[in-house]
Amino acid sequence: MAGGKERWEHDKLVARAILYDRGARRKLIGRMLWADLAVMAAGLWLIDDWLAKHVVGFVLWWCGCGLLTLLVMLFAVYDALAVVREEREKFRK
């Protein structure tokens, strides 16, 4: 159980570093965007025959792509709001 608690504390530190560091946030957004584009490209060109034959797989694949895209968009909105907050705090000082 101690390993789980240490892992949780480590994960919290990593999340805090990503959320508060503009450079780390933007790197993560870029990586997520590339992953999203890779998944979409795979669906369009690599496994398109399989997706055409399996309706459930098709729906799940493209719902997953949509959710990943939504996650990137939400993270970008968070980044924009965080930048506004950072600049407002900088202006007040």
Task: Give the domain ranges of the chain.
Answer: 22-92
pLDDT value, residue 13: 85
Q: What mean pLDDT value characterizes the chain?
A: 91
pLDDT tens, residue by residue, 65-82: 999 999 999 999 999 999
Q: pTM of the prediction?
A: 0.81
Mean pLDDT of 50-55: 94
Q: What is the mean pLDDT of residues 19-24?
A: 88
Q: What is the 3-state secondary structure (H, E, C) of the chain?
A: CHHHHHHHHHHHHHHHHHHHCHHHHHHHHHHHHHHHHHHHHHHHHHCHHHHHHCHHHHHHHHHHHHHHHHHHHHHHHHHHHHHHHHHHHHHHC
19, pLDDT greater than 80: yes
Mean of the pLDDT values across residues 5-32?
Answer: 88
Q: Look at residue 2 in the predicted model and tell me its pLDDT.
A: 57
